[in-house]
Structure 1
Amino acid sequence: MKVRQTPRKLFKEGDLVLKDGFININNLHWSECKHIEVEIVSDYAIVSGVLIVNAEVEGYIYNSVSQTGKDKHQSIGSTEIEIELYFNFTIKKNGIPENLEITDITAL
């Protein structure tokens, strides 16, 4: 699953991809759930929607100067972002949810 955008206020375009970097996501807070749709199909229902989440993210890039595995990546900063998570799952007649799928993630 790809995050379609990186927070441009903090990370320069290409820093995380071209420099062997990554984003660590911490402290998720659910703020809103919207566009909920329910479709009944024989003995189960399909539920889909969009979950808005606030998260603290920290960016790391490859540290080419490191001689050991320690400090292989260095932090380039952190920020708070808002993320849209598009999801769907099924619920059987007994009320047990199954098959959670995150279909898209967008950083706002």
Structure 2
Amino acid sequence: MTAPAEPGFMIPGLAAARTFGLPAGDTLYEVAPAEVPASVSGNAAEYARRAHRDPVCTRFFGGADVYLALFTAFCGENLGREADSRPMAAFTRAGVPLGEISWRPSEAGAKVVPWRRL
């Protein structure tokens, strides 16, 4: 995939903003995987595998200085056990981890649009 089919975005909630050092309520636009620095995508893929997630399905948001990665166990329509939470981590442009949280929509950890990407 070189670019998202439709523009996506994330709005970090208070927990994500505190953990990642971002302003709460900021809009972070989805970044196509091909546009993510190799240092970020490589470390995100390693994290995804450790967390038993599919690196191919990782979604990236932000850009410039900070990239947020949203990890999923599989791509597609069926949310399964991920309907409640998904791991999320932030990385600097150099791929240095800034922190991680579990995204729980019911706790307003962040707003993600669209909810899933095929």
TM-score by length of 2: 0.29
Higher-Rg structure is 1
More strand by share: 1
